[in-house]
Amino acid sequence: MRNLKYFLLKNKMIIIITSIILICAIAISIGVYAQITNRSAINSEEEESNDYEDLENNFDEIFTNTINKEATAKQDVNYDEIIYCAYKIKEEKENYNIDAKIPLFKIENEATKKINQEIYDIFANTIINIVQNSTAHTTFNLDYTVYVNNNILSLIIRCKYKDGTNPQRNIIQTYNYDIDNNKLININEMLDYKKLNKEDVEKRVLEKIKEQNIQMQTISDQGYNVYMRNESDEIYKVDNTPNFFLGKNNYLYLVYAYGNNNYTSEIDLVIF
């Protein structure tokens, strides 16, 4: 009987010890898995952040006056029959230096007529005014690029415009065209396409603007003139976002080009 009690007690202790060891092993495994998962998430966020930083730093390089067909672009569509470089203007005189490639939509419908008219009003009229009325030396450089993702064609126009002694303006104008339905795509449709939440987008935009203002304030404190952002400006609301486009690898750019309305070259990009 004593041996039986000893045997049962011994087995009970073995079971308890084995259970403790098993619980500890599971806890360690969970901890290791959590660390690996957390590290992977951090690495993923860092890689994504680095991607955004690279895209921002290389923004000037995208303006090659070409059509960039991304991997998802339809292969059976001749995009040159949709959009093309309509005018190449290169002229240097005593009072001005103009180098412009002006894109227009070749196909004609309600949406493209609206786009072409706006491009003419903003850029072609400015060139005409420079040629006819410029008295101080003026430089006007205009380039563009086109990206095609799925059925969305994005046209991005950049103009560097310096009028006399005024600071240079960087002007950005974008158009997003639905090839299948022959219409312009608005910002909310673009967010739906990217499966982005409007509130999350606005939060990220404001974070970016606040970061920029902190940097600008630091520079200002050193005695330099800077362009401070108005954090309460309505343009930072998604519905009022002035310019946006789909770029390489389907990245969505929100573009805040303050030179569109002011004498500044400052541009903020928020990329998703």
Amino acid 46: pLDDT: 46
Please tell me the pTM assigned to this model. 0.82
Amino acid 31: pLDDT: 54
Domain range annotation of the chain:
59-271
Whether 120 shows a pLDDT value over 80: the answer reads: yes
Which homologous superfamily is 59-271 in? Fervidobacterium nodosum Rt17-B1 like (3.30.565.40)
User: How sure is the predictor about 7, in pLDDT bands with cuts at 50, 70 and 90?
Assistant: very low
Average pLDDT value for the chain: 88
**Residue that is written with structure tokens 């994504």 in the block:** 48
Q: Dihedrals φ, ψ of 148, to 5°?
A: -120, 115
Amino acid 21: pLDDT: 58
Amino acid 267: pLDDT: 98
**Residue that is written with structure tokens 């205009």 in the block:** 142
Helix (H, G, I), strand (E, B) or coil at 35: helix
Amino acid 17: pLDDT: 57
Could you read off the pLDDT of 125-135 as tens digits, one per residue?
Answer: 999 999 999 99
Amino acid 51: pLDDT: 87
Q: Any idea of the CA torsion for 99, 105, 110, 113, to the nearest 10 degrees?
A: 30
Distance CA 111, CA 116 (A): 9
Query: Angle of helix 187-194 relative to helix 198-221, nearest 10 degrees?
Result: 110
User: How sure is the predictor about 23, in pLDDT bands with cuts at 50, 70 and 90?
Assistant: low
Helix (H, G, I), strand (E, B) or coil at 247: coil
Q: Is 117 exposed, middle or buried (0-12, 13-18, 19+ CB in 10 A)?
A: exposed
Q: What percentage of the chain exceeds 90 in pLDDT?
A: 79
Report which of residues 189 and 13 the model is more confident about: 189
Could you read off the pLDDT of 56-106 as tens digits, one per residue?
Answer: 999 999 999 999 999 999 888 999 999 999 999 999 999 999 999 999 999
